[in-house]
Amino acid sequence: MNGNVSPASFRIRSLTVPVYLPTFLFAVGQGAVIPVMPLYAIEIGASPAFAGFLVALRGIGTMAFDIPAGIMVSRLGERWAMLAATAVLFFIAVGFALAPATLLLAPLAFLMGCTWAVWMLARLSYATDVSPLDQRGRVLSLIGGSNRIGNFAGPFIGAAGATLIGTDAAFYLQALLALAAAITIFAVVRETPPDHGAAAGGHPVLGVLREHAAVFATAGLASLAIQVLRSSRQAVIPLWGDRIGLDAAQVSIIFGLSSALDMTLFYPVGIVMDRWGRKFAGVPCLLFMSAGMLFVPLSDSYLALLLASLLISFGNGLGSGINMTLGSDFSPAVGRGEFLGAWRLVTDLGTAGGPLLVSAIIGVSSLGAAAVATGGIGLAGAAVLTFLVPEPLRRHRPAAGPAPGA
């Protein structure tokens, strides 16, 4: 993990097969199984409450394994960590499809979240290691775009499989895609040496946290705010739609159109991050998402809620890859796995905390107040990112010249 990459020799297209293809395959598989997981559990005898708990267990597994995943990446190297994650996911998916009892689904869902943590950490660490700073925005925004496209396509492919074969088809599909990703990684991803500095105990997790406390207290808080907004909208938009009398089909169309807008911006955003700086993407991301969330309580029709959702999605699209890029930029050369594990834990706490915050505020106040509160968190995050976070790109500003080819 030396991170010594020559900008002149690096080409983004060189990551198409080793990074973007496995990312897409992994995301399609995840997108296929997540919507059907609770339905499958009910189909084989689980209660609706247990089925919902399975979805939560996946997220819990991811958060619980963020720090161990970072240590694992440091010890094994990125290539072997990615291989381990995809190989284990193959067996987990097959286990879901063949599970004879609903109780077995709980540990499998938890382990699925653990594999996601390892995969995310290893992939991010590898991309950081092989990409120069002045092209990293595009590299990581393309990873984010590949993931979004896969998550968008996955539910449709899973639905087709469920209609033609059965609900368990989504898990067999995930297993095949995980196997394909593992074969691709084994064949084309170059070996990376383990982080011997971290392995020797020179940079344990607590040491990395202490050394980079200022980064986590500033850039980490801004990334946390982004994740709170991203996850909160998934609760606020449908609940507000129901409040103003929209049906499930109308809410689904709002989400579909918003996702389509979200997916169109990832590469232009990468260019912005590499040419002008990370804050030129991150601050507008927070401002537009916050504005959209603050507009939700004022929406009293289908069109108004659609516009609010599109505004949020436009902001989210402006932040494609921003959390990965900030984490990558601020990560140290030694102890990178531990740093990125802690960074992922911060963003995952935002992902889990957003809906919980919405639920808590609704319980003591109202849905409108929840939307305003999350919008306020976004504005606070924008202020932190603007005034307290140093621009990472300025640390190693490349000499003037033509932009390297993609």
Q: What confidence score (pLDDT) does residue 399 get?
A: 42
Q: What confidence score (pLDDT) does residue 6 get?
A: 59
Q: Are 241 and 404 in contact (CB under 8 A)?
A: no
What lies within 8 Å, CB to CB, of 209 at 6+ separation is: 216, 342
Separation of alpha carbons 312 and 258, rounded Å: 8
* Topology match between the domains 12-192 and 207-394: yes
Q: Are 125 and 332 in contact (CB under 8 A)?
A: no
For the chain of 406 residues, list the mean pLDDT of each consecutive stretch of 10: 59 92 94 86 85 85 92 90 95 93 91 94 92 91 91 85 86 95 93 58 70 94 96 90 88 86 90 95 97 96 96 94 94 88 92 88 92 97 97 63 43
CB half-sphere exposure, 124, CA atoms < 13 A:
32
Q: What confidence score (pLDDT) does residue 264 get?
A: 87
Structure tokens at 270: 């990468």
Question: Tell me: domain 12-192, CATH 1.20.1250.20, correct?
Answer: yes
Query: How many residues does the structure list for the chain?
Result: 406
Q: Tell me the CATH number of domain 207-394, given options 1.10.357.10, 3.20.20.10, 1.20.1250.20, 3.40.50.410.
A: 1.20.1250.20
Instruction: Taking each helix axis as running N to C, give the angle between helix 248-263 and helix 133-164, from 0 to 180 degrees, rounded to the nearest 10.
Output: 150
Separation of alpha carbons 207 and 236, rounded Å: 38
Identity of the residue numbered 225: A
Identity of the residue numbered 214: A
Query: Roughly how many angstroms between the first and final C-alpha of the chain, as a whole number?
Result: 23
Q: What confidence score (pLDDT) does residue 199 get?
A: 43
Q: Are 65 and 89 in contact (CB under 8 A)?
A: no
Q: What is the pTM of this model?
A: 0.85
| 3-class secondary-structure state, position 120 | helix
CB half-sphere exposure, 201, CA atoms < 13 A:
0
Structure tokens at 313: 């999605």
- Cα distances from 188 to residues 14, 193, 225, 303, 381, in angstroms, run 10, 16, 36, 48, 39
Q: What confidence score (pLDDT) does residue 320 get?
A: 92
Residue 299 gets which letter from DSSP? Answer: -
What are the b/e assignments for 384-402, b being 16+ CB within 10 Å? bbeeebeebbeeeeeeeee
Rama region for 277: left / alpha / beta (φ>0; ψ in -120 to 50; rest): left
| 3-class secondary-structure state, position 81 | helix
Q: Where are the domains of the chain?
A: 12-192, 207-394
Separation of alpha carbons 205 and 338, rounded Å: 6
- Cα distances from 139 to residues 129, 286, 320, 333, in angstroms, run 11, 21, 11, 18
Residue 198 CA, chain-centre distance (Å), reads 25
Element (H, E) at 253: helix 248-263
Separation of alpha carbons 40 and 75, rounded Å: 36
